[in-house]
């Protein structure tokens, strides 16, 4: 500590060490948050149900999505990525997930929302397994923190049976 | 900066930084703002820099008192009797 440079160096390293410690503690404090998210999804209409020339089934639908994800936000949350997936089993694959819609929520105020949307990404099955298939619409989210650990969770929202015939 | 001053500067730096870090974390957590935590801590680091890095007068209150050269010549350094031969450091003559 005898010279200007030594003192500056000591202060810089010590202050950055503490900063890292604070970031770790901030990440740790996220564990004390016990969120209670709620979501409701309804299939308003199946607009389109076709068998594509290559044999794959494709569905176009209109969805009503409302969710309250405000409790996911803590002081260490940067943003929340949320997506709605259609999940179903087929004889070949026990679990299929098709993302229908997604969104990025950056503010806690925006985490309570309600929208009516057509599926943002195409709902295509690899095969022709969708007729009369029971699907689960599941809301997944990934919480991206400012520092530290990422959290991910999901909520199975609605069961829905697809139409028995193409239209 | 004298010896006492260096010790004081180091302790002051560590204590101030830890105190500001704790204060920043608590305010940030209570208010619920990560940004506020960073601002409080940044303020603390700047303040600590201003206090402990420049060579302030209060770090120089215990100057070393060296003997006057003429005084030193009157009392020559006693020669250490060389007992062990296998010393690593060569004796300066």
Q: pLDDT per residue over B57-82, tens digit each?
A: 988 888 888 878 888 788 777 877 76
pLDDT in tens, A108-162: 999 999 999 999 999 999 888 888 899 999 999 999 999 999 999 999 988 889 9
In this structure, are residues A138 and A87 in contact, taking their beta carbons and an 8 Å threshold? Answer: yes
Domain coverage including residue B20: 3-55
Place of tokens 């770790």: A24
CB contact under 8 A, A26 and B34: yes
How many other C-beta atoms can be found within 10 angstroms of the C-beta atom of residue B3?
Answer: 12
Residues of A with CB under 8 A from a CB of B: 1-2, 4, 7-8, 10-11, 14-15, 18-19, 21-22, 25-26, 29, 74-76, 146
Where exactly are the structural domains of chain A?
1-32, 34-161
Q: What is the pTM of this model?
A: 0.78
Which CATH entry fits the domain spanning A34-161: 2.60.40, 3.30.1360, 2.40.128, 2.30.300?
Answer: 2.60.40
Distance from CA of B65 to the nearest CA of A (A): 18
CB contact under 8 A, B41 and A22: yes
Provide Rg for chain B, Cα atoms.
24
The angle formed by the CA atoms of residues B18, A25 and B15, to the nearest 5 degrees, is: 5
């Amino acid at each position: 500590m005898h010279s200007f440079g030594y003192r500056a160096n000591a202060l810089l390293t010590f202050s950055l060490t503490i900063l890292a410690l604070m970031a770790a503690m901030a990440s740790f404090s996220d564990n004390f948050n016990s969120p209670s998210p709620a979501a409701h999804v309804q299939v308003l209409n199946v607009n389109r149900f076709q068998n594509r020339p290559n044999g794959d089934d494709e569905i176009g639908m209109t969805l009503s999505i409302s969710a309250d994800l405000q409790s996911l936000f803590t002081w260490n949350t940067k943003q929340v990525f949320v997506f709605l997936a259609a999940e179903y089993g087929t004889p070949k694959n026990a679990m299929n997930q098709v993302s229908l819609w997604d969104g990025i929520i950056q503010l806690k105020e925006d985490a309570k929302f309600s929208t009516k949307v057509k599926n943002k990404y195409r709902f295509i099955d690899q095969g022709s397994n969708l007729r009369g298939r029971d699907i689960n619409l599941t809301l997944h989210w990934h919480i991206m923190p400012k520092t530290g650990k990422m959290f991910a969770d999901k909520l199975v929202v609605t069961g829905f049976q697809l139409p028995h015939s193409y239209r | 900066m004298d010896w006492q001053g260096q010790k004081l500067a180091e302790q002051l730096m560590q204590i101030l930084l830890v105190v500001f870090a704790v204060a920043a974390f608590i305010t940030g957590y209570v208010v619920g703002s990560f940004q506020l935590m960073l601002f409080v801590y940044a303020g603390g680091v700047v303040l600590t820099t201003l206090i402990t890095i420049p060579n302030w007068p209060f770090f120089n209150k215990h100057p070393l008192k060296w003997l006057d050269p003429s005084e030193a010549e009157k009392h020559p350094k006693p020669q250490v009797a060389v007992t062990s031969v296998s010393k690593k450091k060569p004796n300066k003559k």
